[in-house]
Amino acid sequence: MSPATEELSPRRREILAAATTVLARQGNRGLTHRAVDREAGLSEGSSSAYFRTRDALIGALGDFVAARMSADVQAMGARLATCPGDHERATAEVSRLLLGWLEHPDVLTARLELSIAATRDGDLAERFLEWRDDLVGMVREVLAAAGKDGGQSAETLVAALDGVLLASLMLPVRRRRAFVVESVESMLAGLGTNPGTA
């Protein structure tokens, strides 16, 4: 069973949280057992006792980050289920999701770093499919409830949201909220075709 589906021990969680910070701040090349041990304040060799190889560490980190993203998406889905067809609420919830991720930039940056690595690693790519598929499905439902095309448009929107997140990370913190909210409002309003106007 992977760390994404089992209860992590406190020490494993501590190591993976430190690995998230190292990956976010030093990039893929900087992610070493030694750097993780230093970040976690542990004696040298501690992280390798739990994740013996770098591949094992990266795989566990992929599960750790993906599980966190998936939990956030599922929580948003539960809230949206209480108000089907409410475009204003949907816009607010998607904005809330992105802004919540931006409040933890190390997790978001680590996810982006892992996503790049996943283009060369099929096993790592699989770790991100569940939460992304959940998000695409929820966006599809939001669009369909609003009378819009919920097919390929949902995939397009989720890809665009990734772009908004990346652009947000490069903005001053004070500008991020307005940028995210305006971007989400524009994208949700502009994608798809209303059947009555086609």
**Model confidence pLDDT, tens digit, residues 72-98:** 888 888 888 787 777 788 889 889 999
> What is the pLDDT, as a whole number, of residue 191?
53
> What is the pLDDT, as a whole number, of residue 146?
61
Q: Is domain 10-193 given the CATH code 1.10.357.10 in the classification?
A: yes
User: For residues 157 and 169, which has the higher predicted lDDT (pLDDT)?
Assistant: 169
> What is the pLDDT, as a whole number, of residue 41?
97
- What is the pLDDT confidence band of residue 6, given thresholds at 50, 70 and 90? low
Q: What percent of the chain lies above the pLDDT cut of 90?
A: 45
User: For residues 22 and 195, which has the higher predicted lDDT (pLDDT)?
Assistant: 22
> What is the pLDDT, as a whole number, of residue 145?
66
* Average pLDDT over the chain, rounded to an integer: 84
Q: What percent of the chain lies above the pLDDT cut of 70?
A: 87
How far does Cα 96 stand from its chain's mean position? 13
